[in-house]
Each structure stands twice: as structure tokens, then as C-alpha cells.
Amino acid sequence: MENFNNDNKNELDTENNTTGIPPAEHQPNSGSEFYGNRSNEGNPIPNQYYRNTNTFPTNNGYYNHAQNNPNLHKPKNKVSGLFIAVITLLVLLFSSAILIVVIFSTPIQSDTGDKPYFSYGDSDYDDNYDANLDDNTFSQSPPKYDYGDEIGIEQNSKPNPNNANSPALNAVGVAKKVSSSVVEIWTYAHPDRFEPNGQGSGIVLTKDGYIITNAHVIESASKLLVIFSDGTEREALLVGMDLKTDLAVLKVEGQDLNAAIFGNSDELELGEDIITIGSPSGLTGTITKGIVSGLNRRIVSDYDAYQMNCIQIDAAISPGNSGGALVNMYGQVVGINSSKYVSHEIEGIGFAISINEARPIIEALIKDGEIKGRVRIGIVFIPVSDTVAEMSGDVAGLHIQSIDDECDIARSGLRINDVITHINSVKVTTLEQVQDLISDKAAGDKISATIYREHSGEGETLEITFKLESDD
């Protein structure tokens, strides 16, 4: 007989109070990012019964002769080999009977191609995939749709709140109006396997099957499956995607699909109620509600330093929500949710790409299959404002950290640690100012810049010129 003192009992109770690890978000970069559900695979199970056999409880009415009289020993029990053999045989027979019952009582799952009950994050890979497979398999693109259509996104103004004919809806009304215009997207990395490797959401743009989603949802796919709110499944073709803005357009066969109604994101106000609709972790048609927490947030994407005008919200945006709809209380889509613009360090902060920012990108993808005409300078810099420069005794402007050797600016005389103070005679201290100055330029256009350089403890001002590079 073993006894435990209070310390040992508390230790045992603590070990028994274990909790399971919840599924992962990223799921597909979660970056989750991806986004799979795993729980302690390969980890040893901790011993839940710590016993101190050298310490016995005292003052509890139990007297241990063996402990207090070391010379006294309990006689060993003699058990015959025949008895052990009989017990072992009975245990084996009992275990076999249980196994047979379990096998014949378990229903056989048919291989019907239904989407699995488990979920992945946005475009995250499943850990069960064979690591020896050719990496090029993951870089295959989905079948392409012949781009070339010219489709304009029709946007509607927010109704007058005093108009009784167009009242604001509650969450139930918004869900009924918009849910059928939001789809679930499953991605397949291997064309010869039936197991998906990623999942996201999309918005029906037109009645004939154009669908908007995020580029990171489908960038690693070789096949795409779209599932509508009524359960209808269709294979999707890729029209075009743009990783810099995290936007993509797909095409499915269809007629009279329930296309979304689009609003004007410039009409949003701080504190305004909004609804998000998507399929986080494969939970189809999930509705979350929140408010507009911030407007015109210039957010840098995970892909590179390209900034997008985003709407900050407090409604949950999880992996699988990416590509879903941000909707105002009139049932108008005003943004495209993206988990790639989610703050993973702070709770209650999510972002959606404003529809006004996304509109020209989407229209260009439908027409050309890609975004053409982007330009870049070829530098990495730290922006320093006038106030920060005054506080630190430095110079305001763009403090150069690196220069791309393949760009024309590398041959202009610019050096690392120089400070660009003006571009085309306009003072610059932020990335937004730089993007605005070159947004209407073409590759090959000449740009002038004023730089400040420290030399032997003294500063000098120089003028340089360079050509912009293509960034298609």
C-alpha cells in the first residue's frame, strides 16, 4: 500500500490537469501563416504519476515496519510459471476480442472526394505530404483562363440613413444578403492527389463566374476548387494574380451567380459597424462583426515593401478568411479581408484591402492577366522625418541602406549612408511620398534627386539623375 503526503497529492493533481493543444490558426503564413491541425504528434506523453517511494507519510495512523525496522523484510510471493502463463493468455484473448469489435463497428468512409473535415491555413502545406517529392510540384500554376475581358467594378454609394426605402440592416440581414456571394476556395498542390493543401475564401464579382480572392491563397496551387454556399463545387481557372498587392482573380463556369454588390470604401467612417464573411479554418460561411477601427492605413504586405491602403477593423480575420468580404451594414462589399495584413502580436487588429484600392488592380488582372507598368528605384532606405531628425541631430530624408547593383541608380554616384532629401525637387521623408512621385512614371523615365553626404565630418549636397526600372 502506498500513501502520499499533501505535497505529493498536489503534484499529482497538477499533472492530471492537462489540456489539449488547440488547432493552429496562418492555417495556408499564417502565414500563417498554414495553416494544419496537429496536436503533440511525436512528443512523449509526460509521466502523470510522480511517486516518492522513499518518503512515507507520518502522523496519519499508519506505521511502516519496513521503514522503521530496516532488518524486517516482507517475504517474497512465489508465483508459479503456469499461473503467469494463464493470466497472459487471458489478457491476449480479451484484447483480441475488443479489437475485433472495434474493427467491425467502425463505419467505412467512402472515397467520394468530399472536402476533409480538417482544415489548413491559407496556402500552408500539409505536413503529411512526401518531403521527397519534387519541389517544382509546388510551383505549378493552376490552369489559366484566357484573359482579355474588360469588366468594370460597379460601385454604389451608401444609402441615405434617413431613407426609409434603404434602411441599414442588422447582422442577420447582412448575412442573408451577402453570404451566397462569398465562396470557399480549396487549393491542391499535387494534381495527382486528392488531398488539399490550402484553403481560403473569395467574392463573386460577376454573374458569369469571375471571383476575387487573395494571391497568397492560390499562389502555390496547381488545381483550384470553389465551393458555393449551397454546396455546389466547380473547378476554377486562374485569370491573374498580383503578389505585391495580394490580389487574384479566378474564373468558374456559371450563369446567374449571385454577384456581390460593391460599395465605396471612401465613405466608411470611424466606428462604423462592419461584417466579415469567409471560411476560417474551413468553417464555411462564418460571420464576424466589428467596427472600423482605422482608415487609410498604409500597410506593408508580407511579400515585399509594397504598401496598400487598408481598412483597420477589430473583427477577427483568421487563416481561411483571406479573400472573404468586408461588408457594411447595407450589404455592400467595401473591402477584401487578408490575413497577410494581420498583426500577429496584438489582439483585435485586422486589415482588409479597401475596394477602392483593389478595383484598378482587379480590373487590370481581368484585362491583362498581370499588372503592367510598375516601376522601382532600386534602393532600401530608412525614412527620417523633420522632427526625428531634429531630435537626433541628423538630416531628414531617405537614409540609404542598400542599392540594387542591377538598377541604373547604382551608377548614379549614390552611396550607402547617403541621404536623399529631394526627388524631382520635392522634399521626401516617407515611403508614401516616394510612391506618389513615381506612380505615374514609366520604366526608363529619368528622375533627379538631391542627396546629402557626410565627408570628413562635414556635409555636402550633390545632385544625381537616374532611370526608373521596370517592376512588372
Specify if 206 maps to a domain.
no
How does pLDDT run across 156-177, given as a tens digit for each residue?
999 987 887 888 899 999 999 9
In this prediction, residues 62-86 reach a mean pLDDT of 51
343 included as an active-site residue: no
Specify if 68 maps to a domain.
no
Residue for grid cell 454604389: 156
322 included as an active-site residue: yes
pLDDT of residue 153: 94
| Amino acid code (one letter) for 165 | N
Q: Please give the Cα distance from 437 to 431 (Å, whole number).
A: 10
pLDDT of residue 412: 95
CATH number, domain with residue 459: 2.30.42.10
Grid cell of 207 as nine digits: 454573374
Q: Please give the Cα distance from 472 to 461 (Å, whole number).
A: 33
pLDDT at 7 over 60: no
How does pLDDT run across 245-264, given as a tens digit for each residue?
999 999 999 888 999 999 99
* Backbone φ/ψ region at 468: left (φ over 0), alpha (ψ -120 to 50), beta: beta
The active-site residue, picked from 122, 126, 246, 418, is: 246
246 included as an active-site residue: yes
Grid cell of 172 as nine digits: 442577420
Q: What domain count does the chain have?
A: 1
Query: Taking the complete model, does pTM exceed 0.75, yes or no?
Result: no
Specify if 343 maps to a domain.
no
The active-site residue, picked from 216, 220, 339, 412, is: 216
The rounded Cα 263 to chain-centroid distance in angstroms is: 25
Specify if 459 maps to a domain.
yes
Q: Which domain holds residue 448?
A: 375-470
In this prediction, residues 433-453 reach a mean pLDDT of 94
Q: Please give the Cα distance from 100 to 293 (Å, whole number).
A: 58
Specify if 353 maps to a domain.
no
Grid cell of 259 as nine digits: 454577384
pLDDT at 114 over 50: no
Specify if 322 maps to a domain.
no
pLDDT of residue 131: 36
pLDDT above 90 covers a percentage of the chain that reads 49
The active-site residue, picked from 123, 322, 354, 412, is: 322
Specify if 181 maps to a domain.
no
Specify if 394 maps to a domain.
yes
CA distances from 76 to 69, 73, 82, 87, 423 (A): 17, 9, 18, 19, 94
